[in-house]
Structure formats: C-alpha cells, structure tokens
Structure 1
Amino acid sequence: MVAHLNRFLHSGAGLEKTLRLIQSLAQIAVVFSVGSTAVRFTTAKLQLALTRRFFRFFGFIESFQRVSGLLSKDGMSSVPGWLDLAKWTCFGLYFLLEDLTILHAMDVYLVPWEQRVMKEANTFWFYALSFSLAGSVYALLFSSSVESASKAKDQKTKKNGTKAEKEKVETVTNEKADAPKTAALVRQIVVDGCDLFLPATLLGWMPTGDLVIGLTMVLSTVLTGREIWKRV
C-alpha cells in the first residue's frame, strides 16, 4: 500500500490529482470558514491552483500532436473523429492561452490583458469539455447500439445449431468484455459534467458558488485519480 502510494505521488499525473483534491477540499472549507481562517483557505486554494498550472504548462504540445494524428487518419468523416478533433483543438488553445498569463499569475510580469486572455482560455476549456462530453455520450449511445445490431445480425445468419450455440457463447463473452468500456464512458461523462461547472462559473455563465465547485471537483478528481492509481 505504501509502495503503491509512493508510486502514485511520484507520478506527475498522480501528484497533480492529489494537489487538485487538496485544492477542492480547501475550496469547500472556505464556505464553512470566517475571518482569517477563510482568508488562509482562499490563499491555499489559489496557490494550489497556480502550482497545478505548471503540470499542464506544456499540455498544448500533446493536444496539437493529437490533432495532427487525427488529421492524418482516414476516419475523419465520422462523428467521433470530428468531436475528437474539436476537443483536442480547444484543449490546445486553452493550454496555450493560459500559458501566456503564467508570469502575471506569478506576479513576475503584470499585463493589462490578462483577464481578456483568461476569459478566452476558459471559453476554449468549456468547449473542449463539451466536445469531450458529447463524444462520450455519442460513443455510449450509438457505438453500443451498432455493435449490438451487428451481433444480432450475425447471430441470425447462423443456421447450424452448433454454430448458433457457439455464437451465443461468444456474444455473452463480448458483452462481458464491453462492460469495462461502457463503465469508462459513463465515468468520463460524469467527470466532464462535473468539470464543466468550473469554466462555466469562471465565465459567469453559471454562478454556482464555492461549495458546488468544490464538491464537483472532489468527485471528478476521485474518479480520475482512481484510474491513475490502477495504472501506477
């Protein structure tokens, strides 16, 4: 257990999720605190948010690399392909615009255009999460139905009793194999739905407050952190 925790905290993704969890708990604590205690929790929340920005500073490289890979594929005519392209393009622009204001956030080089740039960055973040959510919902609804229809059609074409029985066994096996994929899609839908609250609140589109933001951050962080924990 301790060795596993050590591997988790020494991985970049695991450490970032740990800091995000602490930040979300500090955000919740602000709601139930007053006076100097609330100021301390607010400061901790802001400093943790700034620290986490360094973990995603070069995130635009991976995002645009994914965009390049999608553009070179033949499957760009599909709806999932276009949703992925839009998602990673928006993520790349979000990371890039956010990076432009890092010196301002560190109080190293203050610029008058920081708020305008961050507003555009958060807008692209909202769009990226929306496209990710749409892609997961599409895959959950339509991919599963297409696969089920294909399996049913193949099953009907089997006329020999032995083959039909074999196909039935294979269908049950395939359904069991598809269960983790379905669970992953549902989990991603929940994570994206929770994360959408943050840019929507920052943009003033949905002023939910610190408590809702903190609770949704805790849920999405625990779900994503759990998957990282399994991998390390």
Structure 2
Amino acid sequence: MARVTRFINDGTGLEKTLRLIQSLAQIAAVFTVGSTAVRLTTAKLQLALSRRFFRFFCFLESFEQVSALLTNGGRNSVAGWLDLGKWTSFGLYFITEDLTILHAMGVWTVPWEERVMRQANTYWFFALCFSLAGSLYKIFFSAPTKPANKSKSKSKNGKEKKTEEPVVEAPKTSALVQQFVVDSCDLLLPLELLGWYPTGDLVLGVTMVLSTILTGWNVWARV
C-alpha cells in the first residue's frame, strides 16, 4: 500500500494513472450507448485535458536534451542525429500544444485552435518516428558495453596507483525494445488525430492501456 501511495504522489505516476483511467473510459464508451456513453466520453475528454497540465512545461526538458546533445557531440553520430530530431520535435509539439490550452479550458476560444493542434500532432508524429528509428538503430548498431580498463600512473611520492577509465555502456536491449513497443502504440494516436490512418476508439484505447502499463511499470520500479 505504501508503494501505491508513493506511485500516486509521484507526478509521473499520477499522470500514468490518469492516462490508464482515460484509456479504460475510452474502451468502455465503445460498448455503451446513450447517457452512459456520453458520460464516459466526457470523462475521457476531461482526463485528457487534465493530463495536458502535467506536460505543459515539458518543452523545457526537451530543449534541454537538445542542448545537451549539441554540447556533447550529438551531431557526430547517426544515433545523435536521431535523438536531436526526436527531442526537437517533442519540444515543438509541447510548445505548440500549449498555445491552445486556454481554448481547451474554455477560457479564451480562438478560431485557429484546430490548425495549431494539427501542427502540434504533426510534430508529435515526427517525434515518435525519430524515436522509433533511434530505438531500432541502437538495437542493431549499438557498440557492446566495454569493461573498465585499469591503468597505472605514478603519484608525486613515487608510489603507483590504479586509475579506472570510465565505463562506456550501451543502452540495454530490453529497454530499447520496450521503448519501441511504447512508441509503436502511441504512434496510432497522432495518425488517428491527423486522419492519416484512422483506427477507431477501441484500438486506440487498447494500445493506450498497453503503452501506459509499460511506461508506468518503470515508474513503479523507481518509487
């Protein structure tokens, strides 16, 4: 019970909980009619809106990742370029979506909301494509983990001391495969919203449940 409390009180854990409830409401709405379906659809939309506040400032983290990649030689490898494309697209998605938050809240409605959200979802689509490509590239082309190499050097008093070179670790394949599955599930959302590949509420709800459980499990393990 204590772990459940920690999970709910964690910002990411709470967002994943709301996302799971939203996806279950979406699935349930498919199998109901009348006022019950309306209430479930309303709950789904309100939960989706509440989750937007959790990612309102996520563009800062995304652009921070871009800055770190540029500083640390992210342009010197294919994986680096894919990560740059991913985090740049995510940053543009978050900041473009933020422009319509007042419209979504009903505080200040604007005629350009649909056009801006379409552009935001296009950035989201590109971000997930870059992420999928990056995961595949790292799975098949990442260098194996190198063990630490010990070397000897002399100190000022003439005694030898051992120093270790930093360990270069490749991303774990299991984590990359998990990320690939999550991104594949989430990719259906912008495709549906953009009208490029409509799949229906049931398929979207099921894939949202799967991706939420997979990402939520990482938070559960952390807390």
TM class, shorter-length:
0.7 to 0.9
RMSD over aligned CA atoms reads 1.7
| Secondary structure of the corresponding residue to residue 147 of structure 1 | coil
Contact kept? 2:74, 2:84, Cα under 8 Å: no
Task: Supply the distance in 2 between the matched residues of 1:16 and 1:75 (Cα, whole angstroms).
Answer: 30
The aligned residue for residue 176 of structure 2 is: 185
- Deviation >2 Å, runs of 4+: none
> Residue 196 of structure 1 aligns to a residue in which SS?
helix
- Matching residue of 1:123: 122
Structure 2 unaligned blocks of 5 or more: 148-168
Distance 1:74 1:117 in 2: 33
CA distance in 2, matches of 1:224, 1:194: 12
Q: Matches of 2:175 and 2:24 in 1, distance apart?
A: 25
The match for 1:228 among 211, 219, 222 is 219
Matched residue, 1:11: 10
Amino acid at match of 1:196: L
Counterpart contact for 2:139–2:173, Cα < 8 Å: yes
Of structures 1 and 2, the one with the larger relative CO (CA 8 A, separation 6+) is: 1
- How many residues get paired? 202
Distance 1:38 1:129 in 2: 31
Contact 2:66–2:87 at 8 Å: present in 1 too?
yes
In 2, the alpha carbon distance for the partners of 1:75 and 1:46 equals 38
Can you list the C-alpha shifts for 1:71-130, whole angstroms capped at 9, x where unaligned? Answer: 111242200100000000000000001000000000000000000000000000010011
> Which of 119, 123, 147 does residue 144 from structure 2 map onto?
147
Structure 2: distance between partners of 1:93 and 1:192: 18
Contact 2:125 2:190 in 1 (8 A): yes
Q: Which has the higher helix share?
A: 1
Give me the TM-score of the superposition, normalised by structure 2: 0.87
